[in-house]
Amino acid sequence: MPEPLVIAVPKGRILAEAQPLLAAAGVVPEAAFFDENSRALRFATQDHGIALIRVRAFDVATFVAHGAAQLGIVGSDVLGEFAYSELYAPVDLGIGHCRLSVAEPAELAATDDPRGWSHVRVATKYPHLTAQHFARRGVQAECIKLNGAMELAPMLGLAPRIVDLVSSGRTLKENGLVEVERILEVSSRLIVNRAAMKTRAAVVPLVEAFRRAAMGMAVAA
């Protein structure tokens, strides 16, 4: 019996949004998969040929690119940051909508004009996308890599600006920051390992199931 296909799904906000999508694609995980308090990392589904793993968003792309998982759900921000050649992203799943933006303290924003920037110092976990964005504008970007708690960087003098994902903007507001420039609109994509696409017969039908599920949810919305 062949090893089951493994689908990597990110922890956190996307996990809840993925639940109806997985169901519509015919992938029904064991109940513990959606329990954020569960310490388990690998989960069975109703189909013995499909298993799920629950990992950090940035790690989804790594697992799939290296073939440890054959499919995954990940934001277009992660795809843009790492640009793995081993990955194919055939379906925009229409979930996980947010944006990658530049933010700064409200008092700085009151007199600041991004159009006049020639050099910026930013804290971000997206140094590649950030540098690429500012290079297109002819702005030199000094990127300080952080993996979390980005909003502390201006507060503690690490960097006057941050580049991070923004959804409602509530976290920025609660930390005295405002969004001043958008870099990228983000949504979650189905990603596939290119080699698995060619060698595992079950991959293509599963991709099509996700495509139909995403289209169906878009129509329903």
Residues 154 and 197 placed together within one structural domain of the fold: no
Residues 81 and 135 placed together within one structural domain of the fold: no
User: How many distinct structural domains can be found in the chain?
Assistant: 2
> Whole-model pTM?
0.91
Residues 163 and 212 placed together within one structural domain of the fold: no
Question: Rg of the chain's alpha carbons, rounded to an integer?
Answer: 19
Residues 139 and 176 placed together within one structural domain of the fold: yes
Pick out the chain residues at pLDDT < 50.
none
Domain holding 201, by residue range, is 5-96+187-220
* Residue 201, Cβ density class (10 Å: 0-12 exposed, 13-18 middle, ≥19 buried): exposed
Give the model's pLDDT for residue 62. Answer: 96
Per residue in 131-157, pLDDT (tens digit) is: 999 999 999 999 999 998 999 999 999
Residues 197 and 177 placed together within one structural domain of the fold: no
